């Protein structure tokens, strides 16, 4: 198979040989009966790593976030979320469709936070005209940016004062903790529930975990079954998640270094037609001037390099990329622009 250099997302990674071996030898059972030892091991590990009482293994980040919304909110409740928040914009409106939960989206600040004054202003009074505001949902990283720890502390205080619950869509939580050089619990301590994707930068083929207090995770288990997320011998998949949590966290530094390399090398080109954002984790955003980005994407594709064309092109680094791929990308992009 020809080698493809894929910058579209960190979801495109292939399980490594070591990960596949761990999957192949996993001891399994029927997880709907709670009898899969490998799933149970993953759920204990994820709870420990995130500093929460309990966790539940689910097929996707979308389901993990949906479970969180369903356990925090009931029919006629609302949650406050970023306008570009994944749970609001990219999950098919699941909370509204399946939970009768209304989103209240607000604009993100440039650093990926939601200004707490704006959140306060969006909380509805206790009045039959309004949905009941129950939950604040943050995302970390947000567009590749780790949220400042000070902000998280303020958000926790704010939620304590206003009686809201606080959920984190931490699809790329470990990218944030690595970028901030802090233990992941420094981040998760401020949240009631945290969703973590195993299938992004961590490199597992499938799966997410929702972490939180035991009573909420028990509630989530019921919803997971109802949503069709009760899997049987899922230990094969959980084994990949365990492997990822044990072996693929520290290496995220390499992804961050490669994203920084892309950013710096594009900036150094001083090219009139392309500007690169500064990389804080594993993402770089390129904005183009006076070029047809679809045409650029097609030319790169001819060289086995994949990007998603758009107004702003998001490049994501991950475990299947090497340093030489960064060189190839910069070279081919320069050629395509000339
Ligand atoms: C990818 C992603 C999700 C959802 O994960 P899936 O496994 O693709 O359903 C949720 N939130 C964010 C921020 C993501 O990037």
> Taking residues 138-163, what's their average pLDDT?
98
Q: In the listed set 198, 216, 247, which residue is the last one of a domain according to the structure?
A: 247
Q: How far is the CA of 268 from the centre of ligand 1 (A)?
A: 32
Do 169 and 56 lie in a common domain? Answer: yes
Q: Could you tell me if 202 and 236 lie in one domain?
A: yes
- What is the distance in A from the centroid of ligand 1 to the CA of 57? 14
Q: Looking at residues 204-212, what average pLDDT do you find?
A: 98
Position 271 pLDDT exceeds 80: yes
- What does pLDDT average to over the chain? 97
- Give ligand 1 pocket residues (Cβ under 6 A): 60-62, 65, 86, 139, 169, 171, 197, 199, 208
Number of domains, the chain = 2
What's the confidence (pLDDT) of residue 217?
98
Tokens representing residue 45 in the block: 């590990």
DSSP state letter for 32 = G
Q: Is residue 309 part of a domain?
A: yes
Residue to probe by mutation, ligand 1, list 8, 11, 61, 175, most atoms within 8 Å of CB? 61
Question: 145 with 236, same domain?
Answer: yes
Q: Is position 3 within any domain?
A: no
Q: Which helix (H) or strand (E) holds 253?
A: helix 252-269
The phi, psi pair for 177, rounded to 5°, reads: -65, -35
pLDDT, position 165:
98
Look up the CATH number of the domain holding residue 31: 3.40.640.10
107 pLDDT tier (thresholds 50, 70, 90): very high
Ramachandran category for residue 203: left, alpha or beta (phi over 0 → left; psi -120 to 50 → alpha)? left
Of all protein residues, whose CA lies closest to atom 14 belonging to ligand 1?
171
DSSP letters spanning 100-122: --EEEEEPPPTTS---HHHHHHH
pLDDT of res. 73:
98
**Domain containing residue 283: CATH number:** 3.90.1150.10
Q: Domain for residue 147, yes or no?
A: yes
- Residue that terminates a domain, selected from 214, 247, 280: 247
Average pLDDT over residues 209-218: 98
Q: Is residue 173 domain-shared with residue 88, that is, in the same domain?
A: yes
Mean per-residue pLDDT for 143-148? 98
> Relative to the CA of 65, which ligand 1 atom is closest?
10
The pLDDT of residue 253 is above 80: yes
Q: Which helix (H) or strand (E) holds 211?
A: strand 208-212
Taking a C-beta distance cutoff of 8 angstroms, is the pair 163, 182 a contact? no
**Is 4 part of a structural domain of the chain?**
no
pLDDT tens sequence across 284-338:
999 999 999 999 999 999 999 999 999 899 999 999 999 999 999 999 999 999 8
Mutate to test the pocket of ligand 1, among 197, 237, 316 (most ligand atoms within 8 A of CB): 197
Strand partners, 227: none
Claim to verify: residue 241 and residue 281 sit in the same structural domain: no
Per the domain annotation, does 5 fall within a domain?
A: no
Residues 279 and 224 in one domain: no
% of the chain residues with pLDDT over 70:
100
Backbone phi, psi, residue 212, to 5°: 175, -165
Per-residue confidence at 2, pLDDT binned at 50, 70, 90?
Answer: confident
Task: Give the end of a domain, one of 247, 280, 303.
Answer: 247
Q: From the CA of 277, how far away is ligand 1's center (Å)?
A: 22
- 281 and 172 in contact (C-beta within 8 Å)? yes
- Structural domain of 214: 12-247
Mean pLDDT of 65-86: 98
Question: In the numeric block, which tokens belong to residue 126?
Answer: 């206790």
One DSSP character per residue, 117-174 reads HHHHHHSPPSSTTSPEEEEEEEESSBTTBPPPHHHHHHHHHHHHHHT-EEEEEETTHH
* 236/255 same-domain check: no
SS3 (DSSP) at 195 = strand
Question: Are residues 120 and 69 part of one domain?
Answer: yes
Distance between alpha carbon 201 and the CA centroid of its chain, in Å? 9
Residues 180 and 47 in one domain: yes
DSSP secondary structure code for residue 59 in this structure:
S
Q: In angstroms, what is the span from residue 169 Cα to ligand 1's centroid?
A: 8
Mean pLDDT throughout 155-162? 98
Same domain? 198 vs 323: no
The CA 171 to ligand 1 mean position distance, Å, reads: 6
Q: Which helix (H) or strand (E) holds 238?
A: helix 235-247
46 part of a folded domain: yes
Residue 18 has pLDDT above 90, yes or no: yes
237, 326: one domain: no
The reply to whether 1 falls in a domain is: no
User: Distance between CA atoms of 77 and 251, rounded to whole angstroms?
Assistant: 40
Q: How far is the CA of 137 from the centre of ligand 1 (A)?
A: 14
What is the β-pairing status of strands 312-316 and 283-288? antiparallel
Same domain, 160 and 71: yes
Is residue 132 in a domain? yes
């Amino acid at each position: 198979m020809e080698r493809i250099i894929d910058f579209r997302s960190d979801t495109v990674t292939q399980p490594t040989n070591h990960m596949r071996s761990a999957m192949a030898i996993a001891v399994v059972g029927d997880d709907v009966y709670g009898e899969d030892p490998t799933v149970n091991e993953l759920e204990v590990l994820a709870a420990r790593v995130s500093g929460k009482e309990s966790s539940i293994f689910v097929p996707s980040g979308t389901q993990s976030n949906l479970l969180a919304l369903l356990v925090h909110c009931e029919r006629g409740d609302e949650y406050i979320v970023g306008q570009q928040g994944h749970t609001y914009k990219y999950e098919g409106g699941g909370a509204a469709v399946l939970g009768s939960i209304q989103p209240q989206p607000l604009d993100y600040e440039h650093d990926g936070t939601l200004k707490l004054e704006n959140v306060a202003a969006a909380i509805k009074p206790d009045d039959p005209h309004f949905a009941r505001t129950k939950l604040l949902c943050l995302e970390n990283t947000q567009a590749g940016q780790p949220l400042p720890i000070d902000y998280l502390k303020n958000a926790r205080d704010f939620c304590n004062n206003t009686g809201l619950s606080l959920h984190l869509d931490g699809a790329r939580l470990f990218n944030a903790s690595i970028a901030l050089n802090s233990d992941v619990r420094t981040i998760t301590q401020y949240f009631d529930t945290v969703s973590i994707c195993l299938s992004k930068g961590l490199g597992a083929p499938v799966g997410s975990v929702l972490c939180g207090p035991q009573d909420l995770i028990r509630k989530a288990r019921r919803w997971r079954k109802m949503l069709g997320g009760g899997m049987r011998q899922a230990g094969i998949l959980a084994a990949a998640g365990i492997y990822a949590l044990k072996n693929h966290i520290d290496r995220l530094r390499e992804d961050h270094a490669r994203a920084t390399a892309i950013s710096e090398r594009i900036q150094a080109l001083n090219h009139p037609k392309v500007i690169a954002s500064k990389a804080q984790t594993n993402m770089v955003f390129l904005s183009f001037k006076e070029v047809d980005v679809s045409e650029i994407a097609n030319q790169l594709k001819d060289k086995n390099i994949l990007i998603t064309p758009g107004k702003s092109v998001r490049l994501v680094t991950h475990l299947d990329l090497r340093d030489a791929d960064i060189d190839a990308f910069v070279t081919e992009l320069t050629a395509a622009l000339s």
